[in-house]
Structure 1
Amino acid sequence: MNIETILAELELKLQSIGFTEGSSAMLLQLNIAGQNYIHSCGNLNMLNASSARLIDGHRYIFVEFMYNEISNASLSTNTKTLHRDTARLLKEYNESLAIREITTECLYDLEFFMQAKGFAVNTIARHMKVLKKYINLAIKKGLLYQSPFIGYTIKSQETHREALSEKELKLFEEYIPVCPTDKEVLLAFLFSCYTGLRYSDICCFSKRNIQVLNNKKWIILWMKKTGNEVRIPLSTVFNGKGLAISREIKRPRGPLFKLRNNQHANRVLKAIAKEIGIKRNVTFHTARHTFATLLLYRGVSITTVQKLLGHRSVKTTQIYSAVTDLTIERELRKSNKAAQKC
Structure 2
Amino acid sequence: MNKKITYAFVQKPEANKKGLYPIYLRAFQSGKKIEIATSITLTNRDWSAIRQRVKKSNKLHERHNAILDAYDKKVLKLLINNFVHDETPLTLRQFKDKILSTHQTDGSFTDYILNYLNENKARLRIESWWSYKSQITKLLKFKKEILFTDLTEQFINDYHLYMLTTLGNNENTASKSLRSLRTFVNISLRYGYMKNNPFKFITIKKVDGKRDFLSLEELNKLSEAYFSGKVTKSIEKEILQYFLFSCYTGLRYSDLKTLQAGSIDGNKIKINMHKTGYLVVIPLTQKAIQLLPQKIPFGTEPVFRIYCNKVTNRILKKIGQTYGIPKKLTCHVARHTFATASITLGIPIEVVSKLLGHTSLKTTQVYAKIVDNVKEREMEKWDRL
Shorter-normalised TM range? 0.7 to 0.9
Distance 1:97 1:241, change over 3 A: same
Give the C-alpha shift of residue 120 in structure 1: 1.8
Structure with bigger gyration radius: 1
Give the C-alpha shift of residue 222 in structure 1: 1.6
| More relative contact order, 1 or 2 (CA 8 Å, 6+ apart) | 1
Indicate the SS of the match to 2:330: coil
Whether the 8 Å CA contact 2:100–2:192 is kept in 1: the answer is yes
Query: Matched residues in 2 for 1:210 and 1:135: separation?
Result: 42
**Correspondence for 2:183 among 101, 125, 133:** 133
Mapped pair 1:64 → 2:111: yes
Query: Matched residues in 2 for 1:51 and 1:174: separation?
Result: 63
Q: Which residue in the other structure is 1:335 paired with?
A: none
Q: Which residue in the other structure is 1:82 paired with?
A: 131
Mapped pair 1:110 → 2:159: yes
**Correspondence for 1:230 among 250, 275, 280:** 280
**Correspondence for 1:163 among 201, 206, 213:** 213
Give the C-alpha shift of residue 139 in structure 1: 2.8
Q: Which residue in the other structure is 1:20 paired with?
A: none
Amino acid at match of 1:80: W
Q: Residues 167-202 of structure 1, C-alpha deviation per residue, up to 9 Å, x if partnerless?
A: 111111122323212211111101100110110111
Give the C-alpha shift of residue 135 in structure 1: 2.0
Give the C-alpha shift of residue 155 in structure 1: 2.2
Give the C-alpha shift of residue 279 in structure 1: 1.3
Mapped pair 1:97 → 2:146: yes
Distance 1:325 1:110, change over 3 A: closer
Query: Matched residues in 2 for 1:45 and 1:51: separation?
Result: 8
Query: Matched residues in 1 for 2:255 and 2:168: separation?
Result: 32
More strand by share: 2
Structure 1 unmatched runs, 5+:
1-42, 330-342
TM-score by length of 1: 0.74
Query: Matched residues in 1 for 2:212 and 2:167: separation?
Result: 26
Give the C-alpha shift of residue 52 in structure 1: 4.5
What aligned pairs does 1:123-272 form with structure 2 within 5 A after superposition? 123-175=173-225, 176-212=230-266, 217-234=267-284, 239-248=285-294, 250-252=296-298, 253-272=300-319
Give the C-alpha shift of residue 54 in structure 1: 4.8
Amino acid at match of 2:312: A
Distance 1:80 1:177, change over 3 A: farther
Mapped pair 1:308 → 2:355: yes
Structure 2 unmatched runs, 5+:
1-75, 82-94, 377-385
Amino acid at match of 2:189: I
More helix by share: 1
Whether the 8 Å CA contact 2:293–2:304 is kept in 1: the answer is no
Give the C-alpha shift of residue 51 in structure 1: 7.2
Query: What RMSD, in angstroms, separates the aligned Cα atoms of the two structures?
Result: 2.8
Give the C-alpha shift of residue 76 in structure 1: 4.4
